[in-house]
Amino acid sequence: MTLPSKVLKESSPDLLSIARLVPHGSRVLDLGCGTGELLAHLIRDRGCSGYGVEIDDANVQACVDRGVNVIQLNLEEGLSLFGDGSFDVVLQIDTLQHLHNAEIMLRETARVGRLGIVAFPNFGHWPNRLAVLRGRMPVTKVLPYQWYDTPNIRVGTLQDFRALALNNHLKILDQFGLQDGKEIRFWPNARASRAVFKVKRT
């Protein structure tokens, strides 16, 4: 399956906030890396190394043009290419909501990486709730598609993901919301447009 290009841009405050979670010098695997913006930033500014995984031909070429190592792979087929603990950090930034095998890929993220960082649009954000109360599906900066053309096959909240992680025996090291690059730790499920989790295998 082809994932849409990441909404995040190199100047995005959210991208910069997520990048700060990655320790300097880490070996990184970025799943559904899009055009390689985040990984290029980590290599350039945080001394990281690693690979992106992407299926779309144009995005793969964009990664190559940026000098980002990229593997063309369909995430629906899993990560059997990589051994346990092959990377310090595995990123799933705005990919989980597009995958049919989301639960499997979450477990694979924690298997392949010593640390997993997962971010996704938070459907519990108050503007989304208000839109649904008005009888419409939300269209926002983080969820920019209409209901009939969205590549998202599922939506979730911080509480949903927390339950999923715990059900899959993952330890949650940190969790918070992001709103315009600011960490939201007080009522993040209602006040943040993006959910961010750091997890690892127990």
Which domains are delineated in the chain?
Answer: 13-201 (3.40.50.150)
Q: Does residue 139 carry a pLDDT above 90?
A: yes
Q: Does residue 164 carry a pLDDT above 80?
A: yes
Residue 15 is predicted with a pLDDT of 87
Q: Does residue 7 carry a pLDDT above 50?
A: no
| Total residues found in the chain within this entry | 202
Compute the mean pLDDT over every residue in the chain, rounded to the nearest whole number.
Answer: 92
CB 79 within 8 A of CB 110: no
Q: What is the mean pLDDT of residues 165-187?
A: 95
CA dist list (Å): 18 to 7, 75, 99, 181: 14, 21, 21, 9
pLDDT per residue as tens digits for the range 21-34: 999 999 999 999 99
Structure tokens at 67: 């000098």
Least confident of 120-129, 144-153, 159-168: 144-153
Instruction: Identify the band that residue 13 occupies on the pLDDT scale cut at 50, 70 and 90.
Output: confident
Q: Does residue 128 carry a pLDDT above 70?
A: yes
SS (H, E, C) the chain: CCCCCCCCCCCCHHHHHHHCCCCCCCEEEEECCCCCHHHHHHHHHHCCEEEEEECCHHHHHHHHHHCCCEEECCHHHCCCCCCCCCEEEEEEECCHHHCCCHHHHHHHHHHHEEEEEEEEEECCCHHHHHHHHCCCCCCCCCCCCCCCCCCCCCCECHHHHHHHHHHCCEEEEEEEEEECCEEECCCHHHHCCEEEEEEEEC
Least confident of 4-18, 102-116, 117-131: 4-18
CB 95 within 8 A of CB 32: yes
CB 19: neighbour CB atoms within 10 A?
21
Task: Label residue 185 exposed, middle or buried (CB < 10 Å: 0-12, 13-18, 19+).
Answer: exposed
Q: Does residue 1 carry a pLDDT above 50?
A: no
The residue that leads in pLDDT, 8 or 30, is: 30
pLDDT per residue as tens digits for the range 29-82: 999 999 999 999 999 999 999 999 999 999 999 999 999 999 999 999 989 999
Q: How far is CA 57 from the centre of its chain?
A: 20
HSE toward the beta carbon, residue 180, CA cutoff 13 A:
1
Residue 114 is predicted with a pLDDT of 97
**Nearest Cα residue to 179 out of 189, 191, 162, 197:** 191
Q: Does residue 8 carry a pLDDT above 80?
A: no
